[in-house]
Amino acid sequence: MSIILGAFQTMNPNGTVGVSWRHPENTSLEYLTIDYWTRLAKQLEGGGFDFLFFADSYGYPTDANGNTIAQGLIDATNIPMADPITLVAAVAAATTTLGIVVTSSTQVERAPAVARRYGTLDHLTKGRVGWNVVTGAAQAASAALFGEPMMPHDERYAQAEDHVSICLKLWEGSWEPGALIADKELGVYADPTRVHQIEHNGKYLSAKGVYGIPPGPQRSPFILQAGTSGAGREFAATYAEMVFIGGGDTDKIAEQIADIRARLEANGRGRNAIKFVVGAHFIVGTDVADAARKRADMLALATLEQAATTYTWLTGIDLTVFPQDEPLPDLHTEMGQSALDRYLNPATGVRKTPRMILEEFRSNGINGTVFEGDAVTVADDIETFLARVDADGFLVQPHITPGTYDDFIGLLVPELRRRGLLADPSSEGTLRSRLFPGGGDHLPDNHLGSSFRVAGPAAGA
Ligand SMILES: Cc1cc2nc3c(=O)[nH]c(=O)nc-3n(C[C@H](O)[C@H](O)[C@H](O)COP(=O)(O)O)c2cc1C
């Protein structure tokens, strides 16, 4: 078995625990320069990572009245957040095999624009681009910024089905294989009889027209999803090829993955049609004491206040207003439900108190799952964990850049290779064909997107 490795980043100077931009060794204040990202991308590619992932959201921490939480700005918690799609071409130019995955929200973007943007990037990256489809974290602030009411949670996923269907129709159903002629002698660029108009008449979104560019190497970019509410799981089982799972309670993670695998089978896609990648934090030291020292360093920059801001950003719920030592009451949110569910209904059945949740957020950040120790200890723990939850790999969530990756690549990767847990670092090809070896460059025939094809299996542009 080969472990899939992705790196989690946002275009924000913090990592995923505390106020890490203040750490003396962190170079992350350079996050608005191209060099910072191309340097990191080369390090990841050389270090055996499959892809670099940019999370993104227009939502920033706001209180119940929609006002900016001042501490958010002071700490740089999810604000600032620059637009990572702008980096993809630069990262692609600096690398040759690394996948590049970027989040775009179905609430914020318009489907034909997303289709053309990721379709263009599929060419520019030579088939290495992936789209993380989200209905959006911190939706209240995001909707307000765009001057719209916040759409209720499950409705956002219903709208997302229209959104992704339009994209898939444009990618799969507009340009037939062979429609691109580009023959100077003949004087024909594209064969108009083989470029079709797509039509989508949905409850929320409609579209009619042709796709503006010939399809790229993957035709549809590799499709990912993050968000494990009930509606999110069903959406994943229809559209996703990879799902990001938030860390935390091991039984809960195992339950989420088993449930989505069952839904995949019910949808006729087969239980292995999705790769499951768990967001986790790794503190690897030269020995156990070195790792413990690094963690203590990290926690010195993590406060309960910042933990509360992050939790509010994710769920819209301010944990500081509840009695701190009583189990949380039943709560509901129309924002992100995964982070709420993680604590209200853990598989253990134990309801946590606000203090416990905030302390957990303070020490683990959004990671939930933390692996700490020397390389052998962490590699042992990784093997046990993956077998227990039936996942395929990790999204490595940083604290210090490049420090987290220096340790991961310098100390842990050699141990993983020694155990045969990492694939050949030099393998080239599209992101899809690397993550599903032998599966080809395009969506498999049992994916909904394939049903939109006009003339047999898409063999290329
Ligand atoms: C590893 C990981 C990465 C995520 N990345 C994003 C992201 O980039 N943008 C975003 O809006 N939500 C992201 N999410 C999902 C949100 O946390 C949130 O769960 C989701 O947007 C709301 O859907 P839900 O109610 O189904 O959880 C990510 C989740 C995980 C576990």
Which ligand 1 atom sits closest to the C-alpha of 341? Answer: 27
Q: Is residue 72 within 8 Å of residue 60, measured between CB atoms?
A: yes
pLDDT digits (tens, 9 = 90+) for 301-335: 999 999 999 989 888 889 999 999 999 888 888 87
Which ligand 1 atom sits closest to the C-alpha of 136? Answer: 11
Give the span between the Cα atoms of 20 and 156, in whole angstroms. Answer: 33
Q: What is the pLDDT of residue 34?
A: 98
Give residue 325 CA to ligand 1 midpoint distance, Å: 28
Give residue 227 CA to ligand 1 midpoint distance, Å: 5
Q: What is the pLDDT of residue 456?
A: 45
More confident of the two residues 213 and 347: 213
Which ligand 1 atom sits closest to the C-alpha of 228? Answer: 26
Res. 459: pLDDT tops 60: no
Give residue 136 CA to ligand 1 midpoint distance, Å: 7
pLDDT digits (tens, 9 = 90+) for 177-221: 999 999 999 999 999 999 999 999 999 999 999 999 999 999 999
Give the span between the Cα atoms of 254 and 278, in whole angstroms. Answer: 11
One-character DSSP codes across 146-193: TT-PPPPHHHHHHHHHHHHHHHHHHHHHTB-TT-EEEETTTTEEE-GG
Which ligand 1 atom sits closest to the C-alpha of 337? Answer: 25
- Strand 393-397, strand 275-284: pairing: parallel
Distances 428 to 40, 99, 128, 420, 459 between C-alpha atoms, Å: 19, 10, 10, 19, 19
- Mean pLDDT calculated for residue range 130-152: 92
Q: What is the pLDDT of residue 460?
A: 40
Q: What is the pLDDT of residue 160?
A: 98
Nearest CA, atom 28, ligand 1: 226
Give residue 417 CA to ligand 1 midpoint distance, Å: 30
Instruction: Report residue 241 as tokens.
Output: 């090829």
Give residue 226 CA to ligand 1 midpoint distance, Å: 5
Which ligand 1 atom sits closest to the C-alpha of 279? Answer: 1
Quote the strand ranges of 192-269, DSSP E: 198-201, 206-209, 222-226, 242-245
Give residue 424 CA to ligand 1 midpoint distance, Å: 30
Give the span between the Cα atoms of 133 and 57, in whole angstroms. Answer: 11
Give the span between the Cα atoms of 411 and 402, in whole angstroms. Answer: 14
Which ligand 1 atom sits closest to the C-alpha of 314? Answer: 17
Quote the strand ranges of 218-315, DSSP E: 222-226, 242-245, 275-284
Give residue 137 CA to ligand 1 midpoint distance, Å: 6
Res. 355: pLDDT tops 50: yes
| Phi, psi (rounded to 5 degrees) for 326 | -105, 145
Instruction: Report residue 74 as tokens.
Output: 């002071």
* Ligand 1 binding residues, C-beta < 6 A: 55-57, 103, 105, 132, 134-137, 153, 226-229, 232, 244-246, 279, 314, 336-338, 395
Max CA separation in the chain (angstroms): 78
Instruction: Report residue 301 as tokens.
Output: 């920059």
Give the span between the Cα atoms of 59 and 39, in whole angstroms. Answer: 28
Nearest CA, atom 6, ligand 1: 55
Which ligand 1 atom sits closest to the C-alpha of 245? Answer: 31
Q: What is the pLDDT of residue 424?
A: 74
Q: What is the pLDDT of residue 333?
A: 80
pLDDT digits (tens, 9 = 90+) for 409-453: 999 999 999 999 998 766 789 999 999 999 999 999 999 999 999
Q: Is residue 394 within 8 Å of residue 15, measured between CB atoms?
A: no
Give the span between the Cα atoms of 87 and 7, in whole angstroms. Answer: 15
Nearest CA, atom 20, ligand 1: 227
Q: What is the pLDDT of residue 425?
A: 66
Give the span between the Cα atoms of 16 and 20, in whole angstroms. Answer: 8
Chain mean pLDDT for the chain = 93
Give residue 344 CA to ligand 1 midpoint distance, Å: 18
Nearest CA, atom 24, ligand 1: 227
Which ligand 1 atom sits closest to the C-alpha of 277? Answer: 1
Confidence of residue 143 (pLDDT cuts 50, 70, 90): very high
Region for 288 from its dihedrals, namely left if φ exceeds 0, alpha if ψ lies in -120 to 50, beta otherwise? alpha
Strand partners, 397: 281
Confidence of residue 345 (pLDDT cuts 50, 70, 90): low
Which of 134, 150, 332 to mutate for ligand 1's pocket (most ligand atoms within 8 Å of CB)? 134
Could you identify the residue written with the tokens 């999810």?
78
SS3 388: helix
Res. 457: pLDDT tops 80: no
